[in-house]
Every structure is written in C-alpha cells, then in structure tokens.
Structure 1
C-alpha cells in the first residue's frame, strides 16, 4: 500500500506521476477498459509514442488540441502525451451539436482535433461551420501508423517534457456563465495536481486514498469531473481506474462487484438509477469503502442508501474554476450533515463570503463565495471581459455561488446568483436556451425555468409568447432545439401564454412564473 501525502514533493507536470508509477511498478494495473487491463508501463509506452508522433506533426508548446472522446484509453494516452509536450487539451461534449462545437473551435483555433469514429461527421460539420482546417484524427489512437519512433524523436521528447512548467496550461474546460456564452477555464498542471492531491487526501479521510483503491470512471472527460476528479486523481494515487464509455447502472454495479471497486460515486441522478434497479440488492458491493454524490443537491433517501453501503460518505462541492472538488465532508459525517452541507473547504484554498459590493460578511451571513489558492484558475481563455468581473486584484475568483458557514463551520450552499440549474448532473443555463427559442418563427418572448424531476433532479420548462395566435406544437419546437442544443438542455415542458408577466424594466417577471410552477399550470404541454 502506497499513499500520497500533503508533504510529498509535488512534480511540475501531470505526466511525471505516470513516469513515477511506471518506474516503481510498471506491471501494476492502471486502466481497465472492456475487460482489458492496461498497466502503468503500457500506459506510459503508448503515451510516449503518441507524444512523439505529435512532435513529428510539429505540435508546439501551447498549441491547442480539441478532443471529443469517451472515458477510454485513447483519452488517457492523449492526456499524458499533451502533458509531455506542453500542449493544451480542450474537450467538447459528445452530445453537443455541430453548431455548439463550432463556437468552441472558433474561440480555440486548434491545431488538431481528435474524435471517435462514430462522432467524426459532427466534428467535420463543426470544422466547416467555423472555418477550421485542423486535421481530424480518429480513434483508436493505438494504430501503429502513429508510432514510428526514432532515437532523435525520443531525445526531442525528453527535452520538450523537461521544458514544460507547472504554470503551463494543460486543460481548457468550457463552462457557461449567466449569459450562456461559453468560457474556457484555463487549468494548469499545478492546478490539476494540487486538486487531485487534495482529492486523494479527502477520500477516506483521515487516511486518504492509496494505490490499493480502485476507482470507477463513468463521467464525461470533457468535464472537470472526468478529466481531473476521475482522470487525474487515480493516477496520482497510483490506483486502478475502471473506464466506462458512458453511465450504465447495471454495468457500474457489475464492474464494482467484478473488480472489487472501492470507490462508488456519481451525481444524484446516477444514484437514483442504480438504486431503482430491481436486482440492485443482488450485487456484492462489500468492496466499497467510500461513496460520494456531487454536482447537485442530494436527497436524504439516496444518502440513507449510500450509508447502507459504507459509513464513509460525502457530498463534496466544486466547480470548474477550482479544478474540481474544493470541499469534503469528514469520515464521521451523518445523514443530516451530508444532506445539508458540503463539508469543509480544502487547505489548498482560501475563501471568503462577500456581499454584492464584495465586502466581507460576518460569520453566518449568506453571500457570494470567493476563492483563491493553488487549485483556483487565474483566468479564462480569450475572455478579458469575464476576467475583469470574475477576478479581483488580490487573486480571488468570485464564484457566483451563494452560501454561509454553519455553527460548526461547515459550508452550506444556498444556490446560484444566476439562474443556473442542474439536470442529470449537467449545468443548464436558461438564457442560452431562450436565445435559441427566440429564433423559432413566430416566437416573441421566451423564458426558461427549472421544474423538479424525480430522476433528473430538474428539467427545463419553457414559457412562450407568440407574435400572433399561432400555436406550434411542443414537438416542433423541441425538434428545432435538438438541432442547435445538446439534448439535456432542451426543455421537457412548454407553456404558451397570452400575456407575459413583466417587470418595471420591461423584462419577463420570472419570479411570477416561478410561483405558477408551484401550482402546476394546466396549460403545460408535456413531452
């Protein structure tokens, strides 16, 4: 058993951890994918080959590479290869439309694009829309054509890797703000490593994560959860990581039993889908010693069942801009604590709670949470406007999250300053949807609000005012939205109004619409 400790010397690059574990125990299992086991030595070998190929393609330090991959070995080879050569990776969601991807491509201007075969046509369309002429490389990345090495290339790779600094960017993760316009959060090697170290320390607190643990990866790798929380943390701890292309409750539970996974985690929707399986009680989950639910509020009934699996459970909190989790519950947390708080902020992060003018609030007051520290990003990519409002001269990032400290100094979240809601673990921004609805012929006004959903947590409801007496079907509008938005963003419910409630400033009065949601208007047209 080997443990990472806060006092350990922190290497400058994420790929250094791959070299460390490969040197120490090259035959130890690092990745498990579709019953195939990949050792740390094999992972390192494939990553070096891909990194060398990228060098031969003249990929320079700081060059940006876009990928659209699942949580498969190809992503992890590319992840480490980019770390070795100083390139920056940008993931795009597999559920994005070509129009959504083209926005990111236009912003990033990548030198190369990696994608799965089945998704290549979407990416080709996105490249055409954005005018990007970068070469598109399709998986699998283990094809020999990529890996023709020479001694000169190997020497060049060693020199390049040694030149990569801890402050260099490794990931740009896109996250939308209150305006719905995507922003690329720049995560450096140090951001990622410090966050992953905190995570390995927070799991199984106070003992931490060790190389005997087995993670299970079932979240998108374009998200901070898939790339850092479930992508970097297992590597740093020297753990095996079971990879899944997507979330399937039966497969997750079967893998847990088959491989003896010690960590079982997911968003509340995932837990709901696992617990509702008729055969759930038939799976042997005795290997699990840590359960976690994150990304959205979790209900007591889910936590109760998590606690039946293991007494060590957590409801951590984090965001893209903090490079993943920045708070944890301790190992002694009970049901109430897990359901009502997100625990304590990690030592790597300083935080404060401020009012609307960013003045410090007294203990117990609710206000906006602001952070700074080694896991907190310093800026967004190519967004001077957002950088000016999100960061202050003292290096604090203003999160837009509202919260306060409990009497026990545990952080209690009170929601977002903006109208963000979470559906099935995905962030949904109403303004982005409204802007698309307004493009539908005849729509005069639109407002999107969240409504409770037993599985997804929340889904969108769209209120619409037409310019005339026409009444398009909800299916027509949904089909239109599915061409321009990822499916989880598309509202489930639609209400056609004869008159919109308005604020004195002439804006839709969403607070009035929210009251109507409580009464469940009879005008809802359900999908």
Structure 2
C-alpha cells in the first residue's frame, strides 16, 4: 500500500506547527531511535518545547540567529526544533570547519547564541573559537551541549517561561519567517549564507518526500551532516513531514552503519556515492540488511554500475538520485527510485512539482531542446537571498525570479535533466566546450576506475586541456596510458583528457561534492 500521503501536512506551513501536529497525530510513533535511546513524537515535542522555554528565558527573541556547531545527534534535533519554536533562525555550522571559519560565519550572521560540543573526534569547539581571538559582540551565550552542567543549566532556565507562553511564541511563527541560514560549501569562493523560510522548506521537502517515496513507518539512517541540506532538510525535516523514525549517526563509520542497519531495521539510507562504495567493499555476510528498501545518492557523478550493485549486492530494490544546491533549498529534481539504473545514474531526474527548469545560453536566452545550457530554476525552491549581500543575490536571481545555478545541463523531451558540469568548471579545448561531468560519466565505465574528477588545465597550444584525477580500483595495476587509449574510442578527441593523475581519494566537502580547486595542482 502506498502510504506517502497518510502523513500529509495540508495547510501546515511552519516547522513548529508541523511538530505539534506530529505529536498529536503520531504521538506513540518513535521519532528518534538509535544508540542514544528512543523518543516518541510526543516526547520529541515535549523536549523541544522545553528548549523553546529555555531559549525564551535566555533572551532569545523572534528572528534572532542561533548557531549549532555539533555532530548529528538526538540533542541536535531537539535543540533545532526547540529554537525554531522560539521563533529563532537556526544557523547550522559544519563540524569540519576550523575555528576561524566558524567564527566568520557566527560574526556574519550576528549569531546571538551558540550550541556546541567538546570531544567530538577530539575537537574542543569552544576552545577553537576562543583561540581565534576574534571578537563576537553579538554572541551573548554559548551552551556546551556535551557538558552536563552547561546543558542542565540552560534547560533549568525554562522554568522562567510558562508552557502557555512558549505555545504562543511557537504559534506566532509566520510561514514566511526565515527558518535557517545555511552556508554554501564555498567551492567557488567564500561561503555565502542562504536565507530560507519555513513555508518553502516544508513545501519543497514535502515534494521531495513524495518523489523519493519516503513514508510513515520508514526508519531513516541520518548519516549526512545536519549542517548541510542533505542531512538537515532531506533528513530531519523530511522525516517530520512523513512521521518517519530518525536514526542519527554522528559520522560515517562503515561497520557501525552496517550494525545499525541490522539492529534498527533501517529502511532508508542516503549519502554520497562513496558511502555506498564503502559499504559494498565490506564483508556484508555477517549483517542482515534485508530491511533496506530505499537508497538515495547524489552530489557527485554516479556510475551506473554502482546503482546496479546497490540494488543487487546490497539488496536495496529502490535507488534514487537528486540534484539541488543550497540556494534551491536543497533540491531541484529527483530521478525516481524505480527508474532503470542507467537513468538513475546518468540523469538528475525531473523537476519537482511546482518547479520550472529552463536552460539558457550566456545571454540568458533559452537553448534548443537537447543543447547544453546553464540550469535556471523558478518556484518555491528559490532562496530568499544571500545574507546581507544584495549584489550577489541580484546576480543569482534575475528580475523574473529565475535562480541561476551556475551548473550546465541538458534536458530531453521527457523532461529528464542531465548535469554536464559547472559553468565555471567548463573548459575550452581549441574552441570546443568540454564539460567535466560528461567526461567523468564516461570514464567511470572503465573497470579500472573507482572514482574520477576532471578539471581543465592551461595548455600553450589549445588554451586548455583536461586532466583526469583518478582513484583506481587496483592501485598496483593503474595504467594512465591504457585509460587514455580506452577513452579515445569513446570520447571526441577534444574531450579526452591529456593526462591522468592517480590518487587514493578525491577531496570532497561535507555534501560529497569534489573540491576541484584542489585538483588543478595535485602535487
């Protein structure tokens, strides 16, 4: 039975209202499970409400920005939902950032309070922040959620605010209030803060949940960082929308993930292609993975063979891919989980309902069907703008409301989108446009290539040529000349890379995207 709509949101348009509804309608369903324990939706709402009261008692006002610099956990979920109930704007910060980078985001977002931890992977985030020496005049309070005294002291302040006052504050949150500021990966410059509202977040991820078939009763392993849209919105928010059970994982560890799939009877897992590659390379015979029904990936080039192996070797019958960016509230299109493997691997699927996709040339005019062009998007999944940067906002969202993604793609007659590269990553070989993603997709069919990224490098005669940075399946047998010979029979001459460089792993950001700026000088 298709249960996608049984947890529909109807007219609900704020995240606090959604949580209240879930507690009322699915109160005994487990909202969170895993090594930290279990919380029903009723218990999740109660704990979030206490955070709301404590935030109000601490002086957090509607619209105040509050940072969370911590790994995935049940407490992260409770804290974020409680802050949203207080009318605050959540500012998630990646645990991979340095103190200097985190301080910059806190300063630029004028963050009033920060929730963070000590001890994750040996890091002491409060100390890292203090050691920067940067003054943060807006930051009035830091709560160390991993410190029992600090966390308890914060929660005890809830007594100064009544339950009724907290309910009134949550009810006063407007659908068009800014719910969060998520920073871009910074792969093409300094990270920018992206403003998103409650209304558009719920609308976009309700559509996403329908497209990927997430449903009530699913048990969703949340591996992707909550500081990223893939973890926070396609994880926490989507789970709330469908009253699914969340199983947060602080970081990806192959054996731990395999254990949790068996112990928690996980039905859905999503992550970068490398996550599934790592699972496939482990001995899985000791684990019962039969509960898995749905897997999602994206954020990088996906080999067709990987989709096939997820379905056959991991036994996950449904696999989907998706395309999106922070500026599009995380998602633009989805390739449905029942599509053929080659379609899942080589396309980003079709636009979400209510989303328009148009491909344009450098002058902004639409390109003919099938021709490559910059992907522009219009709909609910267009950000409200960049934080305190009207010029960058105007350069990204045109006067007709189209978001210019900077990605190059093609659309076929059936509406399937293919990503061929970044506008800024495209390189020109003797006057011909070469698109890295297209070349990467071909190279990934080579049996000796496990992972690959292609970048343009200067050439005295042709202007630019391609460099393929390859993770070989067998380092001892890696043969650059053989790879180039193989590529010449499958790619036009100008698309064939002029050199192959081998590496153990490609550098990636938390969302799984390759940091290509680091590949142009790999030595």
Whole-Å Cα distance in 1 between the matches of residues 109 and 74 of structure 2? Answer: 24
CA contact (8 A) 2:182 2:194 kept: yes
CA contact (8 A) 1:33 1:72 kept: no
3-state SS of the aligned residue for 1:182? coil
3-state SS of the aligned residue for 1:325? coil
Change (3 A) 1:133 1:260: closer
**Unaligned ranges ≥5, structure 2:** 120-124, 428-442, 469-494, 503-519
1:291 corresponds in structure 2 to 295
Give the RMSD, CA atoms, in angstroms: 3.1
Find the partner of 2:155 among 142, 147, 152: 147
Per-residue CA shift, 1:461-503, capped at 9, x if unaligned? Answer: 9x9xxxxxxxxxxxxxxxxxxxxxxxxxxxxxxxxxxxx8679
Find the partner of 1:195 among 181, 199, 204: 204
Change (3 A) 1:319 1:521: closer
Q: Shift of residue 230 of structure 1? A: 1.0
Count of residues in correspondence between the two structures: 451
Change (3 A) 1:152 1:95: closer
2:507 corresponds in structure 1 to none
Give matches, 1:106-505, under 5 Å: 106-118=107-119, 119-126=125-132, 128=134, 133-140=139-146, 143-148=151-156, 149-150=158-159, 153-176=162-185, 179-204=188-213, 209-277=214-282, 279-308=283-312, 309-419=315-425, 457-458=452-453
CA contact (8 A) 1:6 1:197 kept: no
Q: Shift of residue 177 of structure 1? A: 5.6
Whole-Å Cα distance in 1 between the matches of residues 385 and 333 of structure 2? Answer: 21
Whole-Å Cα distance in 2 between the matches of residues 24 and 232 of structure 1? Answer: 17
Q: Normalising by structure 1, what TM-score? A: 0.78
Change (3 A) 1:55 1:454: farther
Whole-Å Cα distance in 2 between the matches of residues 253 and 76 of structure 1? Answer: 23
Q: Shift of residue 415 of structure 1? A: 1.0
Note if 1:519 corresponds to 2:499: yes
Q: Shift of residue 299 of structure 1? A: 1.1
Change (3 A) 1:335 1:112: same
Note if 1:60 corresponds to 2:61: yes
Whole-Å Cα distance in 2 between the matches of residues 420 and 18 of structure 1? Answer: 44
Q: Shift of residue 315 of structure 1? A: 1.5
Q: Shift of residue 125 of structure 1? A: 2.9
**Unaligned ranges ≥5, structure 1:** 422-450, 464-499
Whole-Å Cα distance in 1 between the matches of residues 397 and 74 of structure 2? Answer: 36
3-state SS of the aligned residue for 1:137? strand
Whole-Å Cα distance in 1 between the matches of residues 406 and 61 of structure 2? Answer: 35
